[in-house]
Structure 1
Amino acid sequence: MLVASLYAYAFLSEFILIYPVYTLLFDDTGMSVAQTSSLFVIWSLTGMVLEVPSGAWADTVSRRLLLCLGPLLAGLGFALWVLFPSYWVFAAGFVLWGAAEALGSGSYEALAYEELERRGQAGRYAGVMGRATSLGLAGAASAIGLAVPVFGAGGYPAVGVASVLACVLCAATALTLPEHRSRGDAGDRRYLAVLMEGVTLARADRGVLRAVLLVSFVTAIWGALEEYVPFLGTETGVAKAAIPLVVLLVWVGATAGGLLAGPAERMPVRAYALMLALAALAMAAGAMSGHPAGFVLIALAFGAFQLAGVLADVRLQERITGPARATVTSVAGLGTNVVTLGVYAAYGAASPYASHGVTFALLTLPYVLVALLTARSRVPAGQ
Structure 2
Amino acid sequence: MNQPSPAAIRKAPKVLLHDHLDGGLRPESIVDLARDSGYAGLPTTDPGNLRTWFAEASASGSLERYLETFSHTVGVMQSREALVRVAAECAEDLADDGVVYAEVRYAPELHTTAGLTLDEVVQAVIEGFEQGSAGRPIKVRSLLTAMRTQARSREIAELAVRYRDVGVVGFDIAGAEAGYPPTRHLDAFEYLQRENAHFTIHAGEAFGLPSIWQAIQWCGADRLGHGVRIIDDIQVSPDGEPKLGRLAAYVRDKRIPLEMCPTSNIQTGAAKSIAEHPIGLLRRLHFRVTVNTDNRLMSDTTPSQEFVKLVETFGYGWDDLQWFAVNAMKSAFIPFDERLALINGQIKPGFAKLKWAGEAQ
Same fold (TM over 0.5): no
Structure with more relative contact order (C-alpha pairs < 8 Å, separation 6 or more): 1
- Structure number with the higher helix fraction is 1
TM-score, normalization by structure 2:
0.27
